[in-house]
Amino acid sequence: MTADVSFWIVQALNALQLSMLFFLLSVGLTVIFGLLHFVNLAHGALYALGAFVGFTAATLAGSYWAAFAAAPIVVALVGVLLYWALIRRMRSAGPMNQVLVTFGLIFVFLDVFRIGWGDIALGFAEPELFSGRSELLGVVYPTYRLFIIGLGLAVLAALSLVLTRTQIGAIIRAGVDNDAMAACMGINVERVFFLVFCVGCALAGLAGAVAAPVLSVTTDMGTAILIPTLIVVVIGGLGSLKGAIAGSLLIGFVQTFGSVLAPQLAAILIYALLAGVLILKPAGLFPARG
Amino acid sequence: MFHQTPLKTATVLLLAGLAVAYGLSTGFFGLELLTEVAILAILAIALDLVAGYGGMISLCHGALYGVGAYAFGSATVLLGWGAPAGLAMAVGGGALFAWAIGAVTARTHGIFFIMATLAFGQMAYAYLFESPVFGGNDGLPGVPRLDASALGLDLNDSLTFALTCLALALLAYAVSAALLRSGFGRTLVGIRANEARMRVLGLPVWRHKAAAFGVSGALAGLAGALAAQHTMYISPGLLHWTVSGELLIMVILGGLGTLVGAALGAGVLVFLKHEVSRFTDHWHLVVGLVLIAAVLAGGRGLYGQLEHLWERRRAARRAPPETPAPDEETTGHA
Amino acid sequence: MTRLNRFLLAGAAMLLAAPSVGQAEDYKVGLLLPYSGVYAALGQEIDDGFMLALKERGGEIADAQIEVVREDTEVKPPVGLSKARKLILQDEIDVMVGIVSSGVLGAIRDFVHQSGTPLIVANAGNDDATGARCSAYITRQSFSNGQVNRPMGPWMFENGIKTVYTLAPDYAAGHQMIDNFKAAFEEAGGKVVGQEFTPFQTTKDFGPYLTKAKAAGPDAIFVFYAGGEAISFVKQYASFGLSEEVPLYGSGFLTSPLYVNAEGPAAEGVIAGLHYIPTLDTPENKAFVEAYTRDHGKAPSEYAVQGYDAGQALVEAIKSGATDKEALAAALSKVSFTSPRGPVEIDPATNNIVQNIYVFETVAGSDGLTQKLLGTVEAVRDPVNGCAM
């Protein structure tokens, strides 16, 4: 390997960038899990929807920022539809029926993408503003990747502010702790659930639009990202912001440095990590409920 | 608690009868489908045994199935030990791998158990995908079928092979039903209902769960050995988590915790997919909508719904009409 | 999927016009391709190319009727085998055409061989299929993994590249492509200073690998990636600024015309070797590109030409007078014709295609990216690789 410090700084930035992508995806999923007790396997499909909607918006408007704006809005609207048509009814239907319904949604979305956008992989460019490279900590690094890191940190800061400092945040935390009790205290839990679900969907859509310029937009991208996202959520512990960020950082760094230091094991590492964590801490590292 | 109710017996016999009639009347491709259904039914029963009765929703049964197939393939193709040894290795290998997974994950529950099993399954998948010894992602060709000429059976004949798989599926059902009716099975259901209480009663819970998972793994290994013989070729795709996912869908669609529903779900999903894909490449869309509709229509699974209607009718006949129909608590999980 | 597609090629005018050598026979062709799953786009291109060949050259065998039956492999080996059994045993096809994934080819090979059904492989590149596991019934009209990559070794060395770092997905095809390139490059005198295989279809971030490759300080990077992975790789390669320091070379699938425009400007300057590019300046290719573009609104990719040539090979075999499966298989391993990709023939020693490999650079054109031909390595023939028919 190399003893060059800048090499390790770049790899650390790579790890941070990957962690932030995971964070944007997993934070919505984990709060929906924790608050609604709802297993949304279609979360990955919503991420893919964000990427496809972003592709269309960016192509039509000729600007990346159209994708950045349209993806979270459109995906949140789809989330509203899903909530009223299915999710609300499924909340009391038990986890097995939730698995069946959201697995059905994965299948439906897969063909919606095929019919709407075709089978050929797509891509769109990063914004002009963040193209090229910048210098940071003495290394030259792709600016767009720095933007992803910054965006992830901004979302983290905003969410933690809302959760710890505002009334709605207190209500959400109360709901995660004990939703029946919160309802008894006169809180309209249904409305909070709905709001949280929509924000979670919007974040998934945003993650799709943000990841697309780095990756490619393919019909199976939602299924491919589902498992890593679930791993992040489960390792961190369900329902907590702290868990989501801890899980994201752990997976991002293990995957990046694993592929640098032990490339033969790269495919197995995150599963080994998951198994190890669950054997030692059967409810993840930072469960929201004791 | 598991009861072999008359309705259940009738459903099993009806399904078996339908399968035999279909097998005798269909062409080559129909036999391919029938064999696939019979093998997946064994696997689905194995999953329902632990998921429906032990509360252990596993996402590694595809991997157990693949381990069985690879054990059979290694014994016959790589080691040249012959099919009977391969069969034993598949059942034993599946059981051992499952027992180990069951033992180390015994403390996890719900989504955490699901993800822990997924982790072990995916590790096995990733290992075989990149392992040159087992042919990597190209897999191993040339897997032979068991020579059953001593019994007067030619397993290279499609119909004979399909009916043999069907008979083994019935056997898997009988073994699972017998196990669930034994003290072991009752304890397993007890653990699902209240693990803490069972532990306080002095039961070594983890050992019991691991043993149940091991039995399930043995059945999954058997299914894997049959799949290897059916296609005469094995590839790591057998172990992928999506196989486990689709399997779970079969079990839930058929009715979790009913055993016969698992087999029914396997049959319905395989034939539904086949029939839809005759008309469109977009079969995912149709199957997805059917799954959603199935939940909205009742959410008990196909056999669960049948049982629910049956019990309601019986109750209505027995009781005076003004008595409301009994709810799920009394009729569920018969 | 059993969308029966009766293709009636009889036409009175054509009967008079074309000097028909074929017999009045019915041929049933089974197209076994992925119509769903990750390779669905490839399956469709091959299908379109194949049907175009039948449409254009059907007149030459005008008194033969060709019926096409389609089945979807879903890119799953067991499904592929089930469907192959169905096509051969139930539909009783005379010829099978298709197969995109090497895994599916590996699964069906023994059955196809034992049933004595001729199979024209239209994509799957596993070297073994025309090597140690070759068959008198299986001819390949597409490429082998070694064939596409070997010529790049000496070509790069002669063009001043002395040291190379390689990257590819960690699966059988990835290893074959890189191993063949590496052997040829080192034989020419070059040196591979480092190589890495990335987890197949799960690697989203190539950043760690690119950083490592750059740190090794090679003259160039040589990679094999295809589809979504190719798009991610090329874009990330450019975003790290490597295009200014270490040029990118690869197997031509890296910048396939099928999806190169999704890579955008990042793909400009990438140099790769492949058996077909749509900008070849030959009359056969111009006619093909024009006909294909007219029908499908986009230029053909290498996959389309593979399907097209599978169709041409079938027409040639039928023209030679072959009527049963045995004779068709024998005729298919003797065909030679001028394809849009140049002169092609089947090597009787392996049943693999002998064809030119084109080294091309992806450059900006008047509308989107296009391919600039840099060099041609003529009539590349695979070694026998242990093939015994």
Q: What is the mean pLDDT of residues B241-252?
A: 93
Residue in C41, C203, C215 closest to A4 by CB? C215
Domain with A181, as residue range(s), is: 23-220
- Residue-level pLDDT at A90: 85
pLDDT at B332 over 60: no
Q: Which chains touch A (3 or more CB pairs under 8 A)?
A: B, C
pLDDT for res C16: 39
The predicted pLDDT at position B320 comes to: 63
B222 assigned to some structural domain: yes
CA distance linking residue A39 with residue A33, whole number of Å: 6
Say whether C235 and A213 touch across the interface (CB within 8 A).
yes
- The 10s digit of each residue's pLDDT in A177-192 is 887 888 888 888 888 8
Domains and CATH numbers, chain C: 5-143+280-351 (3.40.50.2300), 147-274+357-380 (3.40.50.2300)
Under an 8 A CB cutoff, do C205 and A142 touch? no
Residue A47 pLDDT > 60, yes or no? yes
CB contact residues (below 8 A), chain B span 96-135, against chain A? 104-105, 107-112, 115-116, 118-120, 122-123, 126-127, 129-130
> Is A77 within the bounds of a domain?
yes
pLDDT at C11: 38
State yes or no: pLDDT of B73 exceeds 50: yes
Q: Is B140 on the interface with A (CB under 8 A)?
A: no
Contact B138 C2 (CB under 8 A): no
Q: What is the pLDDT of residues A215-269, one digit of tens each?
A: 999 998 999 899 999 999 999 988 888 999 999 999 999 999 999 998 888 889 9
A109 pLDDT exceeds 70?
A: yes
User: E strand or H helix at C273, and its extent?
Assistant: strand C271-274
**Given a contact as 3+ CB pairs under 8 Å, which chains touch B?**
A, C
pLDDT band at B217 (very low <50, low <70, confident <90, very high): very high
In a domain, A214, yes or no: yes
* DSSP reduced 3-state for C373: strand
A1 has pLDDT over 60: no
> In which domain, by residue range, is B311 found?
6-331
- Give me the long-range contacts of B73-82 (CB less than 8 A, separation at least 24): B73/B134, B73/B140, B73/B143, B73/B228, B73/B234, B74/B134, B74/B140, B76/B143, B76/B144, B77/B140, B77/B141, B77/B142, B77/B143, B78/B133, B78/B134, B78/B140
- Tokens standing for C59? 């007149």
Contact at CB, B138 and C76, closer than 8 angstroms: no
Tell me the nearest-neighbour CA distance from B141 into chain C, angstroms.
6
- Interface probe, candidates C133, C171, C178, C179, chain B, greatest B C-beta count within 10 A: C171
What is the C-alpha separation between C124 and C299, in angstroms, rounded? 22
Position C333 scores a pLDDT of: 94
Q: Chain-wide mean pLDDT for chain B? A: 91
Least Cα separation, residue A188 to chain C (angstroms): 41
Q: Which of residues 133-172 of C touch B (CB under 8 A)?
A: 133, 170-172
State residue B321's pLDDT score. 56
Angle at A227 between CA A226 and CA A228, to 5 degrees: 100
Maximum separation of any 2 CA atoms in chain B, in Å? 69
pLDDT of residue A289: 62
Record the tokens describing residue B247, joined without a space.
């399997």
- Across the strands, what pairs with C364? C369
More confident residue, B334 or C278: C278
Find residues 85-104 of chain A whose CB sits inside 8 Å of chain C. Answer: none
- Which phi and psi (to 5°) does residue B132 adopt? -65, -30
Q: Of A17, A142, A216, which is closest to C232 when you measure between CB atoms?
A: A216
* Residue A56 sits at the chain C interface (C-beta within 8 Å): no
Chain A nearest-CA residue for C200? A267
Prediction ipTM score: 0.91
- In whole angstroms, give the CA distance from residue C66 to residue C26: 6
Tell me, yes or no, whether B326 lies in a domain.
yes
- A263, A59 Cβ separation under 8 angstroms: no
Whole-model pTM: value is 0.90
The count of structural domains within chain A is 1
A214, C262: Cβ pair inside 8 Å?
no
Question: Rounded mean pLDDT of chain A?
Answer: 90
CA distance linking residue B177 with residue C35, whole number of Å = 41
Amino acid at C166: T
Q: What is the pLDDT of residues B157-207, one digit of tens each?
A: 999 999 999 999 999 999 999 999 999 999 999 999 889 898 898 888 999
Which position has the higher pLDDT, C158 or A99? Answer: C158
Looking at residue B248, its pLDDT comes to 93
> Mean pLDDT over residues A196-223, rounded?
93
> Chain C interface residues facing chain A, Cβ-Cβ under 8 Å?
36, 38, 40-41, 44, 170, 196-205, 207-209, 211-212, 215, 227-229, 231-232, 235-236, 239-241, 258-259, 262-265
A191 and C CB contact within 8 Å: no
Which is more confidently placed, B64 or B327? B64
Query: Which residues in chain A have their CB less than 8 angstroms from residue C239's CB?
Result: 126, 133, 142, 144-145, 214
Residue of chain C minimizing CA distance to B230: C78
Give which of C105, C42, C32 is closest to C70, Cα–Cα.
C32
- Any domain includes B91: yes
Are the Cβ atoms of C196 and A263 closer than 8 angstroms? Answer: yes
| CATH number (domain holding residue B50) | 1.10.3470
pLDDT under 70: residue ranges of chain C: 1-24
Give how many domains chain B has, as a whole number: 1
Q: How many CA atoms lie within 13 A of B44 on its CB side?
A: 34
The answer to whether position B99 is within a domain reads yes
pLDDT at residue B324 greater than cutoff 80 = no
- What is the mean pLDDT of the segment spanning A62-80? 95
**CA C357 and chain centroid, separation:** 12
Question: Is the pLDDT reported for residue B331 higher than 50?
Answer: no
CB distance C85–B139 less than 8 Å? no
Phi first, then psi: what are they for A80, rounded to 5°?
-60, -45
For residue B242, being part of any structural domain is answered with yes
Are A101 and B291 inside 8 Å of each other by CB?
yes
What length does chain A have?
Answer: 290
Determine contact: C77 vs chain B, CB below 8 A: yes
Lowest pLDDT segment from A12-21, A280-289, B253-262: A280-289
The answer to whether residue B1 sits within a structural domain is no
Is residue A240, in this structure, part of any structural domain at all? Answer: no
Sign of the Cα torsion A230, A231, A233, A234 reads: positive
Cross-chain Cβ contact C41/A11 below 8 Å: no
CB contact under 8 A, C228 and A11: no
Alpha carbon distance C73, A156 (integer Å): 44
